[in-house]
Structure 1
Amino acid sequence: MSGAPTTIISPEQLLRELDNPDWVIVDCRHDLADPEFGRAAYADGHLPGARFVHLDEDLSGPKDGTNGRHPLPDVAALAQRLGELGIDRTKQVIAYDDAGGMFAARLWWLLRWLGHERVAVLDGDLHAWRRHGGQLTRAPVVPSATRFEPVRQPIDAPLLDVLERYRDEHTLIVDARSPDRFRGENETIDPVGGHIPGAINRFFKDNLDADGNFKPAAQLRREFTTLLDGVTPAQVIHQCGSGVTACHNLLAMEIAGLPGGRLYPGSWSEWCASDQRPVATGP
């Protein structure tokens, strides 16, 4: 569908489409320290018509101790869950959270991974929705189940690919974690502090302005062009702690008109699970 939102959408735009039967809104709220937060927050109030997805249960696959904290879900399992939510190839999906798009961007990327480009993140998250007069409801939502047909896209970079490329001068690894965690300081989530040798840091929160909205496309383009320093987007592998906030950088680059980067889903939590892989610390 021409003109379908594929990156971000403003609260004003979404308010105009609330009654559109071809649009599906998905609540992605989560708290890494409290896995039940999102479900409780949804029950307490959500956007009208919104369905809820859980980062650990719906947007991630089983952990085996070596594949990271949020491994990719099985394609068939994710497709089934999307169908249960009423999402098929005809639907426009809008993902939101209350964390600047930190978790909503994960659903954005996963849908694109399965070949569905009609997906956008609510700009400014739930806070902007409320500021613009958007209401919340506790009304239960019972989606009409459908069938989602996945067409998997090669936009992920598995561990073996990263191992092969991380020292390649034509590959740039961009780490979305906070600068202190990138340096190996104040690590409280993963058992080892540091980063993949050769990686550079772009904290995902730097994609947002003071109000929590994504910066203008032109500004994001300038910032990422400077960061990449001649490397093309197709040569970029994005990672973070567990493959969640790296999606935010991928979304920001898409907004900036710099598509083509790939996600290392296992990210630092998978990389540091083996002491056979090198670790760098400092800037």
Structure 2
Amino acid sequence: MHQTLISAADLTAHIDDPAWVVVDCRHDLMNLAAGRGAYASGHLPGAVFADIETVLSGAKNGADGVFLGRHPLPDKDALAEALRDFGIDDTTQVVAYDAHGGMFAARLWWLLRWLGHEAVAVLDGGMAAWEAAGQPLTTEVRTRPRGSFSVRAPFVPTVTVREVLDNLESGKRIVIDARAADRYRGENETIDPVGGHIPGAKNRFFKDNLGPDGRFKDAAQLREELGALIDDPAAAIMQCGSGVTACHNLLALEVAGLPGAALYPGSWSEWVGDPARPVAKGAN
């Protein structure tokens, strides 16, 4: 069972295994049709496509009309239905990939763990690693038998905006922001019209988890780097712009052998939805 990362070589050995499902998670936050278009142009053999906006995220507003962020968590039952359509069973080994260093694939990795599924991994290095290994792409879309995926107890914790707000007073937990430094400091109004970060939050850009080759740094290096920020993973909260790239830091923590951190799903986009919530700017 692969539970964090998988190499292109290991995936190659199982690419036609009916007990494995490969999921293409490519996306572009500035062009929402780009992921599906890229999939149609060429994808890993047998891969299905999971759209970040419509499958791996839920409604942006709650039943009470309150804004929940740009990519709230999907309804668990709706996500489970989509996974069954992908041919995923409770025993299926799932492999997620993208072409963006794992920033979107990690979202599916985390979501499956949220639904109680352990056998899920991210293709280390993504499409670039697959092609560098001399492996083919295809435009063929295979039909898979419908799966029998069931929702079970989650392996991963979450926190609400209320808990993050309460933590400003208690200071019991550390908040780690996965956005780029300019967004964290409040200097990129194109992406974050209300710039800055949650007071007290520390910055760990998700790309810092990767080496020059686009693959994740090894466990020892990640443990050293992340351990310098986080004393106790169980007291850590991961957030980003909308709860997507924060999953990359959560995956890095798992690779490092530092499990237990929580995701704040609404992240910055939900936080600034209420102007009464405080905002900090600049380096922390």
What is aligned with 1:37? 34
Aligned equivalents of 1:166 and 1:105: distance in 2? 28
The Cα shift of 1:191 comes to 2.6
Residues 166 and 173, structure 1, Cα contact 8 Å, conserved in 2: no
- 8 A Cα contact 1:114 1:152, kept in partner: yes
Aligned length: 278
Contact 1:87-1:147 within 8 A present in 2 as well: yes
Q: 3-state DSSP class of the match of 1:173?
A: strand
Question: C-alpha distance in 2, partners of 1:280/1:269?
Answer: 14
Aligned to 2:111: 110
User: Shift of residue 10 of structure 1?
Assistant: 0.4
Relative to structure 2, which stretch is displaced further, 212-221 or 159-168? 159-168
Q: TM-score, normalised by structure 2?
A: 0.96
Shift of 1:152: 3.9
1:1-283 mapped onto 2 (5 Å cutoff): 4-64=1-61, 66-153=67-154, 155-228=157-230, 231-283=231-283
Q: CA separation in 1, counterparts of 2:150 and 2:168?
A: 33
Give the letter aligned to residue 240 of structure 2: C
1: CA distance between counterparts of 2:167 and 2:182?
25
| TM-score, with length taken from structure 1 | 0.96
Aligned 8 A contact 2:159 2:265 in 1 = yes
For 1:53 and 1:17, how far apart are their aligned partners in 2?
20
CA contact (8 A) 2:70 2:266 kept: yes
Distance 1:23 1:159 in 2: 36
Indicate if the aligned counterparts of 2:47 and 2:141 stay in contact, CA closer than 8 A.
Answer: no
2: CA distance, partners of 1:109 / 1:15:
23
Partner Cα separation in structure 1 for residue 160 and residue 148 of structure 2:
28
Partners in 1 of 2:97 and 2:6 — Cα distance? 10
Secondary structure of residue in 1 paired with 2:175:
strand
* In structure 1, C-alpha distance between the alignment counterparts of 2:220 and 2:46, rounded to whole Å: 33
Q: Which amino acid aligns with 2:14?
A: E
Kindly provide the CA deviation profile for residues 195-247 of structure 1, in whole angstroms up to 9, marking residues without a partner as x: 0001000000000000100001100000011112xx20000000000000000
- Say whether the 8 Å CA contact 1:29–1:97 is kept in structure 2: yes
Uncovered stretches (5+) of structure 1, i.e. residues with no partner: none
Q: CA deviation at 1:144?
A: 1.0
Q: Amino acid of the residue matched to residue 111 of structure 1? A: L
**Aligned counterparts of 2:26 and 2:117: Cα–Cα separation in 1:** 21
Distance in 1, Cα, partners of 2:144 & 2:177? 37
Aligned to 1:166, what secondary structure does the other structure show? helix
Which consecutive unaligned segments of at least 5 residues does structure 2 have?
none
CA contact (8 A) 1:166 1:172 kept: no
What do the CA deviations read for 1:67-87 (whole angstroms, capped 9, x no partner)?
Answer: 100000001100110011011
Over the matched positions of the two proteins, sequence identity in percent amounts to 58
Greater displacement, 65-74 / 116-125 = 65-74
* Alpha-carbon distance in structure 1 between the residues aligned to 2:162 and 2:256: 29
Give the Å deviation of 1:159.
1.3
Contact 1:167 1:198 in 2 (8 A): no
Q: CA deviation at 1:186?
A: 1.5
Following the alignment from structure 2 to structure 1, what is the Cα–Cα distance between the partners of residues 164 and 26?
29
Q: Is the 8 A contact 1:271 1:277 kept in 2?
A: yes
- The amino acid of 1:119's aligned partner reads V
* Aligned-pair CA distance for 1:163: 1.5
Q: Separation in 1 of the partners of 2:150 and 2:13?
A: 28
Find the aligned partners of 1:167 and 1:212 in 2 and give their Cα distance: 38
Backbone CA RMSD of aligned residues: 1.0
